[in-house]
Amino acid sequence: MSRNSESAELPSPRALPEPETPPEKHTIFNFNATNSSFVPGYSVLRVEQAQHMSHDDKTRLMNTVVDDMVTTVGLINEYHNNGILSDENIFQVSTMMQCIGHSNAKVQGRWEEEIDSLRRDRRQLRQDYRDLARQMDAMGQKYAGKVKALEGQVKSLKERLAWLEAGGPLRQSQSRLDGHVDRGCVSEEVVMVETCDEQERIGEDGADGEWKDEGI
Average pLDDT over residues 152-179: 74
3 state SS for the chain: CCHHHHHHHCCCHHHCCCCCCCCCCCCCCHHHCCCHHHCCCHHHHHHHHHHHCCHHHHHHHHHHHHHHHHHHHHHHHHHHHCCCCCCCCCHHHHHHHHHHHHHHHHHHHHHHHHHHHHHHHHHHHHHHHHHHHHHHHHHHHHHHHHHHHHHHHHHHHHHHHHHHHCCHHHHHHHHHHHHHHHHHHHHHHHHHHHHHHHHHHHHHHHHHHHHHHHHC
Average pLDDT over residues 190-207: 58
Average pLDDT over residues 185-214: 55
> pLDDT tens digits, residue range 63-73?
988 888 888 88
Residue partners of 88: CB distance under 8 A and separation at least 6: 13, 16, 19
pLDDT score of 9 more than 60: no
Average pLDDT over residues 97-108: 89
pTM of the model: 0.39
> pLDDT tens digits, residue range 122-160?
999 999 999 999 999 988 888 888 888 899 898 888 888
Q: Mean pLDDT in the chain? A: 73
What's the pLDDT at 169? 63
What's the pLDDT at 3? 42
